A and B are shown apart, each in its own frame.
Chain A
Amino acid sequence: MYDLSCADVTKRFGTFTAVENVSLDIPSGSFFSILGPSGCGKTTLMRMIAGFETPTSGDIRIKGESVLSLPPNKRNVKMVFQHLALFPMMNVGENIAYGLRCRGEAKSEIAPKVARVLDRVGLPGSEDKRIDQLSGGQKQRIAIARCMVLEPDVLLLDEPLGALDLKLREHMKIELKQLQHQFETTFLYITHDQSEALVMSDNVAVMNAGKFEQIGSPKALYDQPASGFVAGFVGDSNILAGTLREARGSEARVDLDGGGHVIGRVCDGSVAGDRVEVFLRPESLRLGAADDGTSLTGRVESLLFNGASSRVLLDVNGQLIEVADPEQASALAKGATASVGWTPERARIFARRSA
């Protein structure tokens, strides 16, 4: 049984369609992310699930039952807000107890439940602290505890890591994944940061302009993107614009706008004459001579050192190509001429994305 399902959910604000025919099914106990740029409609979708907006059409089901007729305070999906929305006039204990008191639980039961959940998020004994005494990471965990103490069917997280600095964000990604396992609750996480989605999720839906472009495991999205948008949004890619010259089976030759031609694999229904883009991941490029059609030559523009993520920037006909080939890169110097090559199936060809 799916903990949360959306069936063809659509939301229109006047003439503007924020969400269009979105369907998803989230299995119980999994970590599901919705990944997309700002304005793609993911927040609207989440607000509909929580009950703060009503879908124009479609259904939302929790544990098999439609919740459209339920107001936001009666749905068993709890939400961690973007800026956490911890109540400043209450201390930590009162914040966490809030939902329990709304349910009418006995005082004698509330205190031990609060203590237990604080324990589980790693902040035992903080009941009496004031909200403004907490650090960013601690506030995160209290916000989650406040929801988890109510044992919800689904936990909604609205870009909760945005306000944290980089190191803390990296740390929290791992923590959130561990918390999800610990509580064995279904998490629905929305973000515009693809590394968050990839690291934490069992499944990811990539959303663009109100529609889901692809749903799949992080690896599937990375290795087998279904559209140019997904290929460009998930992971790093070098993107070469051009026109499809001819196709032979699944391989095709593309004449690049900047000059020259490359051979790659057609991943959607593009045919000869279409305007396309060729996507090459930095790690699929190998420095050194290669066959005609599967290589590019240019001048080394700069050598970017970043530990294991070091890159070589190659200027090919005015476009900068990023190459991740650390072993060969050490032999290069700035200004030298170099070539990179790839195997055809690693160059993905998609129809050109709209701007």
Chain B
Amino acid sequence: MSRPGLSDASRLSLILLFTPFVLWIGLLIILPQVGIGYVSLREKISWNEYSFGLKNYVDFLGEPVYRNTLLRTAWMSILVTALALLIGFPIAYYIAKIARERSRAALFLMCLIPLWVSDLVRAYGWIVLLRETGVISTALVRWGIINQPIEMLYNDVTVVIGLVYTVILFMIVPLVSTLQGMDDALLEAGYNLGGSRLTVLRRIIIPYAMPGIVSGCIITFMLTAGSYLTPILLGGKNSSWFTEQIYNQFITRYNWESGSAFGVALLVFTSFVVWAGLRLTGQSLATTVAKD
């Protein structure tokens, strides 16, 4: 197709192709985000009377429960991301580099399978395993290891484990993609020049895999912070996960103004963490997430 100068037909097709994109991004992404920004600045005085101001945000920052929930969500998300990286990196490395050609595809597929199954099924599975009347507890009692059934749900450790389980595959997949592209000759050169395993890992493998690592971390962090089912189902009433607060404000209390403020707070906070992470490691969204 010739490029020089836009002919009428060419311009028409550009406009036609642009339309779905604009409608989609404009109406479903940009304007709604502006919408919650707008609503978050609103305060209901009475039916159909509103005043504008930062009251919702002030309330949010002023109320320890809300503040702390956000902070807790944030640091637990970072913890989950770090764990997912530590646990997942060796797995990804094995699949990309050590497994043989045939088993590689099979292993990768096996990793993808839990991904395709809903969050819900996975959380339900953990419940079946871990609750007081669940599999592990009754098995332990049966085998006489403990006397009483034990409640393993509804605590932070379980929530972290459950979250790591949910997101670890989103860490492994980008890592495998990136590591697969690495030429074995780079490693061999590293050893040949006298490096130990640790040196090669630190100086060659990790820097090379950095886009994949950053990509994986961004995705897992956002997924964890935005997670709803896993913390609630596995953490119970004391889970205090921030998305639950958002849900409560919107659906339970029908306080959309407050809920929007919370939503904006979550968005801003997580975006900030992602941006900081990208800056620190010198990457951008285009080089990491979009490489899928």
A interface list, Cβ under 8 A from B: 13, 52-54
Q: Tell me the bound Cα distance from A152 to B1 in angstroms.
A: 22
Given the complex, which residues of B lie within 8 Å of A13, measured CB to CB? 4
Given the complex, which residues of A lie within 8 Å of B4, measured CB to CB? 13, 53-54
Closest to B1 in A: A52
Q: Tell me the bound Cα distance from A53 to B1 in angstroms.
A: 9
Number of interface residues of B (CB under 8 A): 3
What are 7 of the A-B contact pairs (CB < 8 Å)?
Answer: A13-B4, A52-B1, A52-B2, A53-B2, A53-B4, A54-B2, A54-B4
Given the complex, which residues of B lie within 8 Å of A53, measured CB to CB? 2, 4
Q: Tell me the bound Cα distance from A52 to B4 in angstroms.
A: 10
Q: Tell me the bound Cα distance from A13 to B2 in angstroms.
A: 12
The 0/1 profile, CB within 8 Å of A marked 1, for residues 1-36 of chain B is: 110100000000000000000000000000000000
Q: Tell me the bound Cα distance from A23 to B1 in angstroms.
A: 25
Q: Taking the nearest CB of chain B, how far is it from the CB of A70, in angstroms?
A: 13
Q: Taking the nearest CB of chain B, how far is it from the CB of A331, in angstroms?
A: 53
B interface list, Cβ under 8 A from A: 1-2, 4
Q: Taking the nearest CB of chain A, how far is it from the CB of B256, in angstroms?
A: 52
Q: Taking the nearest CB of chain B, how far is it from the CB of A195, in angstroms?
A: 33
Closest to A72 in B: B2
Closest to A51 in B: B2
Q: Taking the nearest CB of chain B, how far is it from the CB of A44, in angstroms?
A: 11
Q: Taking the nearest CB of chain B, how far is it from the CB of A74, in angstroms?
A: 14
Given the complex, which residues of A lie within 8 Å of B2, measured CB to CB? 52-54
Q: Taking the nearest CB of chain B, how far is it from the CB of A107, in angstroms?
A: 30
Closest to B3 in A: A53
Q: Taking the nearest CB of chain A, how far is it from the CB of B3, in angstroms?
A: 9
Q: Tell me the bound Cα distance from A322 to B262 in angstroms.
A: 85
Q: Taking the nearest CB of chain A, how far is it from the CB of B33, in angstroms?
A: 41
Q: Tell me the bound Cα distance from A53 to B2 in angstroms.
A: 6
Q: Tell me the bound Cα distance from A49 to B1 in angstroms.
A: 14
Given the complex, which residues of B lie within 8 Å of A52, measured CB to CB? 1-2
Q: Tell me the bound Cα distance from A13 to B4 in angstroms.
A: 9
Q: Tell me the bound Cα distance from A256 to B2 in angstroms.
A: 49
Q: Taking the nearest CB of chain A, how far is it from the CB of B6, in angstroms?
A: 13
Q: Taking the nearest CB of chain A, how far is it from the CB of B213, in angstroms?
A: 38
Q: Taking the nearest CB of chain B, how far is it from the CB of A164, in angstroms?
A: 28
Q: Tell me the bound Cα distance from A54 to B4 in angstroms.
A: 8
Closest to A13 in B: B4
Q: Tell me the bound Cα distance from A54 to B2 in angstroms.
A: 8
Given the complex, which residues of B lie within 8 Å of A54, measured CB to CB? 2, 4
Q: Tell me the bound Cα distance from A52 to B2 in angstroms.
A: 5
Q: Tell me the bound Cα distance from A54 to B7 in angstroms.
A: 12
Closest to B5 in A: A54
Q: Taking the nearest CB of chain A, how far is it from the CB of B114, in angstroms?
A: 35
Q: Taking the nearest CB of chain A, how far is it from the CB of B268, in angstroms?
A: 45
Q: What are the 6 A-B residue pairs with the smallest beta carbon separation, nearest first?
A: A52-B2, A53-B2, A54-B4, A54-B2, A53-B4, A52-B1
Closest to A12 in B: B4
Q: Tell me the bound Cα distance from A243 to B53 in angstroms.
A: 89
Q: Tell me the bound Cα distance from A53 to B4 in angstroms.
A: 8
Q: Taking the nearest CB of chain A, how far is it from the CB of B9, in angstroms?
A: 9
Q: Taking the nearest CB of chain A, how far is it from the CB of B92, in angstroms?
A: 34
Closest to A11 in B: B4
Q: Taking the nearest CB of chain A, how far is it from the CB of B20, in angstroms?
A: 26
Q: Taking the nearest CB of chain A, how far is it from the CB of B8, in angstroms?
A: 12
